[in-house]
């Protein structure tokens, strides 16, 4: 019996300060895990907002809609119909990749939700609707609206740029909020580790004083606490990231129809690549927070000893 | 008798390697401990104003040469424990100049103190063992803190505990040991690093006469081998049986040195 216990006298995880009891292996990982869970959600929010902003800017911002009333009427300038003239101007405009008028069937499809199946029989004087695609970086077409109106009075140019810019600003604001949430979560995690470490210091004050009296340096004592805190924080990080994963997959499946980047295939693992990289980094981050906070807290506390 | 078990490695560690200068007359040796008008007062934590508390040690001036022995005597509250706390670097003097192991403690940088502490062994009246560690681990602590190789630690600690008669108690926790056994673990921990300065604060307070006598034999042997020993006690009988130079304190002042 004595010999078997003697085998336990190994230094590998030698707990000279009794930290296995002083730093609870339940509460600290639980709290850090909750922080990691929130961090994963905030991270997902930041990634999603970033993806949407980028998608809107590259997609919708590069599009424009032109409405030409009475498209078959004669153009005010030049030859042909009003529609032909508008199309000619559009296609001759630098920065415009394509300008395609919607077909009658496409217009009917657009109106069907409001006018029902009889839309084709109503013989409404519908304007021509031209979908215009702009080249990358060409979101402004100065003077175009004026020239179109001159060729075909009443022509309307609806640029998506303004509301896309507003949406992009909104998306960037959401990104900033998510970043701020991440910082707050990291700060709370650090505070949790600091409080737990201080509780451990109080609980093990006598042992620390004994070891300090035997010649232990601040680094020696701080390393004991930091080692324990790092391990517990990493466990919390793993648990939190693991718990967040199914939630994120579920949210991604909900967001897929709205064009979450990389999620268009709607596969069961349809998370943005950034998130797949960030989730495993969370336990590393929590471990780093645990290490740095415990080290700093213990070293600060030890200054009271001579 | 503890020292009758002095064979093997312990002999090699302690008995066969007296400290340099152990055989020199005290007058020729350098001062292991030197007090020059040392005063000490503790802060009044929690009190309004936070000013210094009353001075517990006043104008202490004396020196103990390397390899010297001193009884530290005086009534309760005389300042014996405070003086020992100064010596094992648990506090720094608030006045005067203190030199321990050749280092000026008054001015020494904080980061230099751990190395000095490793050369000082302390036996406390209440043992101050870590309750969650076995006897082996308690004794091994100073060596592990000093970064000694684990193989050497295992051999030295096992041998030392065997030497103090606790060969069968290596895995025992302090709570599983008697008072005398805990005392021997505390002594083993204090001497395992072969300290240059050995301090003891009422080490016989929890021991019967026979155990106290064994302890004295051990300390005298270590002193003979060159370790400077300072021992605070109330036990006048023990002092009478082992006469030696004594520092006598009263109300924080040194009233006799001789």
Please report, in tens digits, the pLDDT of each residue of chain A (306 residues total). Answer: 444 444 444 555 678 888 888 887 788 999 999 999 999 999 998 888 887 777 776 666 677 888 998 888 888 877 788 888 899 888 888 888 888 888 888 888 888 877 777 766 777 778 889 988 887 666 666 688 888 888 888 888 887 767 777 877 888 888 899 999 999 999 999 999 999 999 999 999 999 999 999 999 999 999 999 999 999 999 999 999 999 999 999 888 887 766 544 444 555 567 888 888 889 999 999 999 999 999 999 999 999 898
In A72-134 the beta strands, taken as DSSP E runs, fall at 96-101, 128-134
Q: How far is CA A147 from the centre of its chain?
A: 42
**Residue in chain A lying closest to B90 (CA):** A306
Q: Report the run of H or E that residue B41 belongs to, with start and end.
A: strand B31-43
Domain boundaries, chain A: 18-57+172-302, 70-154
Length of chain A as a residue count: 306
Q: Output the CA–CA distances (angstroms, integers) from residue A284 to A233, A241, B71, in the order listed.
A: 9, 11, 56
Look at residues A195, A193, A232, A197 and name the one whose alpha carbon lies nearest to residue A302: A197
pLDDT in tens, chain B (258 residues): 344 444 444 544 554 455 555 555 555 557 889 999 999 998 754 444 556 778 899 999 999 999 999 999 999 889 999 999 999 999 999 999 999 999 999 999 999 999 999 999 999 988 999 999 999 999 999 999 998 888 889 999 999 999 888 988 999 999 999 888 998 899 999 999 889 999 999 888 777 788 788 888 888 988 998 999 999 998 888 899 999 999 999 999 999 887
The structure tokens 């020199």 sit at B24
Angular region, B122: left φ>0, alpha ψ -120 to 50, beta rest:
beta
d(Cα A295, Cα A223) in Å, to the nearest integer?
7
d(Cα B187, Cα A125) in Å, to the nearest integer?
107
pLDDT of residue B170: 92
Q: Does A306 touch chain B (CB under 8 A)?
A: yes
CB A174 within 8 A of CB A10: no
* Tokens standing for residue A289: 């927070």
**Residue in chain A lying closest to B171 (CA):** A6
Q: Output the CA–CA distances (angstroms, integers) from residue A197 to A192, A232, A291, in the order listed.
A: 8, 11, 11
d(Cα A67, Cα A83) in Å, to the nearest integer?
9
Q: Is the pTM of this model over 0.90?
A: no
pLDDT of residue B20: 56
Q: How far is CA A162 from the centre of its chain?
A: 23
Look at residues A295, A40, A296, A24 and name the one whose alpha carbon lies nearest to residue A185: A40
In chain A the beta strands, taken as DSSP E runs, fall at 63-68, 96-101, 128-134, 156-159
Identify the CATH class of B2-16+30-257: alpha beta
Cβ-in-10-Å burial (0-12, 13-18, 19+) of B227 comes to buried
Q: Output the CA–CA distances (angstroms, integers) from residue A137 to A62, A97, A129, B40, in the order listed.
A: 8, 12, 23, 77
Q: Does A130 touch chain B (CB under 8 A)?
A: no
CB A278 within 8 A of CB A47: yes
Q: Do B145 and A21 touch (CB under 8 A)?
A: no
* Tokens standing for residue B226: 């060159």
Select from B122, B133, B170 the Cβ nearest to the Cβ of A213: B122
B-chain residues near A21 (CB < 8 A): 132
d(Cα B127, Cα B203) in Å, to the nearest integer?
8
pLDDT of residue A76: 80
Domain boundaries, chain B: 2-16+30-257
Closest approach of A21 to chain B, Cα-based (Å): 10
């Amino acid at each position: 019996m004595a010999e078997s216990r003697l085998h336990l006298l190994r230094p590998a995880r030698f707990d000279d300060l009794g930290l296995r009891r002083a730093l609870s292996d339940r509460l600290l990982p639980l709290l850090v895990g909750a922080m990691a869970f929130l961090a994963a959600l905030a991270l997902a929010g930041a990634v999603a907002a970033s993806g949407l902003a980028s998608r809107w800017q590259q997609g919708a911002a590069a599009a424009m809609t032109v409405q030409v009333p009475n498209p078959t009427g004669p153009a005010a300038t030049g030859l042909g119909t009003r529609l032909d003239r508008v199309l000619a101007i559009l296609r001759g405009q630098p920065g415009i990749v394509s300008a395609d008028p919607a077909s009658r069937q496409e217009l009917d499809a657009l109106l069907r939700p409001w006018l029902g199946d009889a839309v084709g029989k109503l013989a409404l004087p519908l304007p021509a609707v031209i979908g215009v695609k702009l080249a990358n970086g060409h979101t402004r077409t100065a003077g175009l609206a004026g020239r179109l109106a001159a060729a075909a009075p009443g022509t309307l140019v609806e640029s998506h740029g303004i509301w896309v810019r507003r949406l992009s600003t909104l998306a960037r604001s959401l990104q900033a909020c998510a970043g701020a949430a991440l910082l707050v979560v990291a700060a709370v995690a650090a505070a949790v580790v600091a409080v737990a470490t201080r509780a451990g210091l109080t609980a093990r004050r006598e042992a620390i004083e004994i070891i300090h009296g035997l010649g232990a340096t601040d680094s020696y004592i701080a390393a004991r606490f930091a080692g324990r805190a790092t391990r517990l924080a990493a466990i919390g990080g793993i648990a939190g990231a693991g718990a967040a994963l199914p939630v994120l997959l579920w949210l991604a499946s909900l967001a897929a129809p709205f064009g979450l980047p990389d999620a268009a295939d709607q596969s069961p693992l349809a998370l943005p690549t950034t998130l797949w990289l960030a989730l495993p980094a969370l336990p590393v981050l929590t471990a780093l927070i645990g290490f740095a906070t415990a080290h700093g807290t213990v070293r600060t506390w030890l200054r009271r000893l001579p | 008798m503890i020292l009758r078990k002095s064979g093997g490695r312990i002999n090699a560690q302690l008995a066969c390697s007296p400290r340099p200068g152990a055989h020199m007359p005290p007058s020729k040796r350098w001062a292991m401990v030197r007090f020059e008008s040392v005063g000490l007062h503790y802060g009044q934590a929690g009190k309004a104003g936070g000013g210094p508390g009353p001075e517990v040690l006043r104008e202490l001036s004396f020196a103990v040469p390397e390899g010297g022995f001193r009884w530290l005597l005086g009534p309760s509250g005389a300042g014996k424990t405070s003086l020992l706390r100064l010596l094992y670097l648990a506090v720094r003097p608030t006045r005067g100049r203190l030199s321990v192991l050749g280092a000026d403690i008054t001015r020494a940088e904080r980061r230099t103190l751990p190395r000095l502490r490793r050369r000082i062994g302390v036996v406390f009246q209440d043992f101050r063992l870590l309750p969650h560690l076995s006897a082996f681990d308690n004794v091994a602590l100073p060596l592990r803190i000093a970064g000694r190789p684990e193989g050497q630690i295992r051999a030295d600690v096992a041998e030392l505990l065997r030497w103090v008669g606790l060969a069968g108690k290596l895995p025992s926790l302090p709570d599983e040991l008697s008072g005398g056994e805990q005392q021997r673990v505390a002594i083993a921990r204090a001497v395992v690093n072969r300290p240059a300065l050995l301090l003891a604060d009422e080490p016989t307070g929890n021991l019967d006469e026979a155990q106290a006598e064994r302890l004295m034999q051990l300390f005298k042997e270590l002193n003979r081998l060159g370790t400077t020993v300072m021992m605070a006690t109330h036990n006048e009988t023990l002092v009478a049986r082992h006469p030696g130079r004594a520092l006598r304190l009263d109300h924080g002042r040194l009233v006799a040195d001789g």
